[in-house]
Structure 1
Amino acid sequence: MENQTHAVGGGDVPVLALCENCGQPSRHRCSRCKAFVVCGKECMKAVWSRHKPDCDTMVGARKMLKDSGTPVSGVPFSLEPDALLRLNARTLEVYRKHGVEEPPKRGSSMDVRKKLEFFLDVLREHDTSSLENRDLPLGEKLFLNCRYNNSYRYALETFTPNEINQLNGMMRTHHVA
C-alpha cells in the first residue's frame, strides 16, 4: 500500500478517503492498482475476493497500454456511455442549481460565498466516499475521482489561501472527503 499526497493551500496534506471495507478514513491504496482504498492488510484481506477482478483488469490494462507504446499516466478505466451521460447530468445539475455554465474564475463577479458553495457542491457530487457514490462500479468511481481532483485543483487556482481554508472547513463540516 502506498500513501498519496496532494498540495492543499500551499502545503502537502495526505489524501484521506474512506476504506472500502470498514469505512474508516485511510491514506492507503492498493499497491497493485492504486485505485482501491483500504485501512491496512486486514481490510484488504477481507475485500480481496471482491476487489481482485477489478484490480487484475486495471493492472492488465496498464500493462497492455505500456506494451503498445502508449504513455500511461494515472489509472486506466472505461465507462459505459449511459454511465457517462448519467454522471455528466449530475454535474450539470449542480451548475444549473448555481446558475452558471462554467466554474467561476478568480476575480469573477460572483460573490465569494456563492463561489465557495458552488465548489463545495461540485466536490460533494464527485466525492467517491459519499453514500450516493460509494457503491458505484470502480470505473465510475475513478471517473468521479478525476473530476473531484480537477475541481479541487481549479479551486486552488480560483481562491485565495484564506478562501481555500474556508472551503476546506466547509468540506470538513459537510463530510466531503
Structure 2
Amino acid sequence: SWEMLIRARKRTDRLIRASAQQLPFQDGAFDSVFARSLFHHLRNLEDGLEEAARVLKPGGTLVLADTNRSLLSVLPRLLLRRSESFSDSHKNLAYGAFRKKIERLFEVREVVFFGYLAYPLIAFPDLWDPLRLFPFRMGLSRLLMKVDEGLANLPIIRRLAFGVMIHAVKR
C-alpha cells in the first residue's frame, strides 16, 4: 500500500515501487525473494511466481507467507471482507492448488502453517481489537502465539491455519 511505502521511506532511501508481475530488475539479480501477504492480491498468481523466479539466481530462495483457505479462516475472512481494508482483489488461497503452482518453478523445502487463535484475534487491530479489553495485552498475545505453536504441531489441526509460510528454491 502507499501508506506502507511512506513508512518504509523513513527507514531507507533504497526503495522501489513496482508491480510484482513486472519487476525492474535483471534476470538472476537476487539470491532471495521474500513476499509477505503478496500473492493473494495478484490477479494471476503464475505471473507473480514466474517473475520471482526470473529475478532469482539459479538455486535462489523464495520465502513467502500468505493466506490459507481453511474451515477456520473462511467465515472470519468473509466478515472482514466487508471492511474498507479488504478489496475484491483479496483471495483466500487454497494451499494445495497454490503449492502446485509454486512447484512448477521451485522445489518446496519447508512449509509452516500459522495462525489459529493469535492471528484472527491480534492481526487486525484496525478492524477489530478484542484484546484491548485486557490489561495484560502483550502477555495474552504471547500466550496465544504459544498456543498456536502447539496447535501447529497437531496433525489433525495443522492445515486449518489462517496462513502458510513456504520456503522454496528455484529449479
Q: Which bin holds the TM-score, normalised by the shorter protein?
A: under 0.3
Q: TM-score, normalised by structure 2?
A: 0.25
Which protein has greater RCO, CA pairs closer than 8 Å, 6+ apart? 2
**TM-score, with length taken from structure 1:** 0.25
